[in-house]
Amino acid sequence: MDDVPSKSHQENTRDSVAGSVTPADLSIKSRNLHFGGSPIENRWWVGGDPYATAFFNALSATFPVAESFFITTIKQFREGAPEKLRHEIRAFIQQEMVHGREHLIFNRHLERSNYDLTLLDESVKGVMARIQAMDPIYHLVGTMCMEHLTATIAAEIISNPDLLKDADEEQKNLWLWHGSEEIEHKGVAYDTWLHVTRDWSRLKRWTVKSAFMARISIGFTKNRSKGILELLRQDGITGPRAWFGLARYALSSPAPFRRTLGPWFQFFLPGFHPWNIDDRELIQLAESEYEAAIMDQSEGEPTVTELAEKLKKIKLPKVA
């Protein structure tokens, strides 16, 4: 299997990482925005829809732990990376730290709305701990796979207005902002993987990443579905009503699971790279939506130091 984009595609891009098609003029910057200054007003903050709300809440419950894991992982591979990639890794870490901070705040607001996130939290910690017990290269493969899932969902959130239709403004801005930065740094973990495995054969690369992606995707679908059903249970929605409601939401309308199947599958194709699709216009689209939030925040706001301290406190369980 050929895991490297065609030569002609590479000619117009930087070549500091062999096989990367990350745009040479891509600039990754942490916007360090603050959301969640006030409690969530409506329990079902996505247009009064419990299924849509549970979908976003279940994702958010996993972010602080997962993104803390991505930061720890990518840091391990920063040394020896080409200079441009090192800068991108630094920006990636800054962005993910701020995401972790903002989703910690969002999750605290959910708890104040009487959602118990314990099961969701334990589930994601268990998955991360199991990956962390493996050889460090698998931390990177896991991060790279999960970053593809995240970027795919991010593009869907921004491009499909039905997903956040009638959502409360502050929460909507949080998700649009997070989604835009996920698109912006979607190639960083992949380029790090390409660099670290530059001596591997194409077949070995493809086999390892594909096997891991299959495993991660099954776990992701299963665990997020469980998380959504758990939150719906806490809203008094159980049994067939919950299952059919979730299936309708995920697969029929607005169908975030079904609509992301195509982009997800591209990961397995020869020559895949996250930037084979240049969707930077989605970053601008999202920014134009949360422009007011940007305008409200002056430069010189607190730096990433405070959130680095918070994220350090996240402990993963030990795996035998």
| Half-sphere exposure (Cβ direction) of 201: Cα atoms closer than 13 Å | 4
Name which of 101 and 195 has its Cβ closer to Fe ion: 101
CB atoms < 10 A from the CB of 181, how many?
24
Name which of 96 and 170 has its Cβ closer to Fe ion: 96
- Least distance to Fe ion from the beta carbon of 186, Å? 7
Q: Are 44 and 53 a contacting pair, CB within 8 Å? A: yes
Name which of 53 and 180 has its Cβ closer to Fe ion: 180
Which positions ≥6 away from 314 have C-beta within 8 Å? 64, 65, 68
**Structure-block tokens of residue 28:** 């990754």
- Least distance to Fe ion from the beta carbon of 315, Å? 20
- Least distance to Fe ion from the beta carbon of 111, Å? 20
Contact segment (CB under 5 A) with Fe ion among 96-104, 215-223, 257-265, 282-290 equals 96-104
Name which of 184 and 232 has its Cβ closer to Fe ion: 184
Q: Residue 235 to residues 44, 52, 166, 199, 243: CA-CA distances in angstroms?
A: 10, 13, 20, 51, 14
Residues 57-86 that bind Fe ion (CB under 5 A): 67
* 99 part of the interface to Fe ion, by CB under 5 A: yes
Which of 241, 177, 227, 217 has its CA nearest to residue 53? Answer: 227
- Least distance to Fe ion from the beta carbon of 70, Å? 6
Q: How buried is 27 (Cβ within 10 angstroms: 0-12 exposed, 13-18 middle, 19+ buried)?
A: exposed
Contact segment (CB under 5 A) with Fe ion among 4-12, 90-98, 129-137, 281-289 equals 90-98
- Least distance to Fe ion from the beta carbon of 147, Å? 5
The C-alpha atoms of residue 235 and residue 189 are separated, in whole angstroms, by 37
Name which of 67 and 156 has its Cβ closer to Fe ion: 67
Contact segment (CB under 5 A) with Fe ion among 3-11, 50-58, 159-167, 175-183 equals 175-183
The C-alpha atoms of residue 72 and residue 74 are separated, in whole angstroms, by 6
Residues 178-217 that bind Fe ion (CB under 5 A): 182
- Least distance to Fe ion from the beta carbon of 150, Å? 5
The C-alpha atoms of residue 77 and residue 138 are separated, in whole angstroms, by 12
Name which of 66 and 229 has its Cβ closer to Fe ion: 66
Name which of 67 and 191 has its Cβ closer to Fe ion: 67
Q: Which residue is nearest to Fe ion (CB)?
A: 99
Contact segment (CB under 5 A) with Fe ion among 98-106, 210-218, 261-269, 276-284 equals 98-106
How does DSSP assign 24-53, residue by residue?
TT-----------SS--SSSSTBTT-HHHH
- Least distance to Fe ion from the beta carbon of 212, Å? 17
* Sign of the C-alpha dihedral computed for residues 156, 157, 159 and 164 taken in this order: positive
Contacts with Fe ion by CB under 5 A lie at: 67, 96, 99, 182
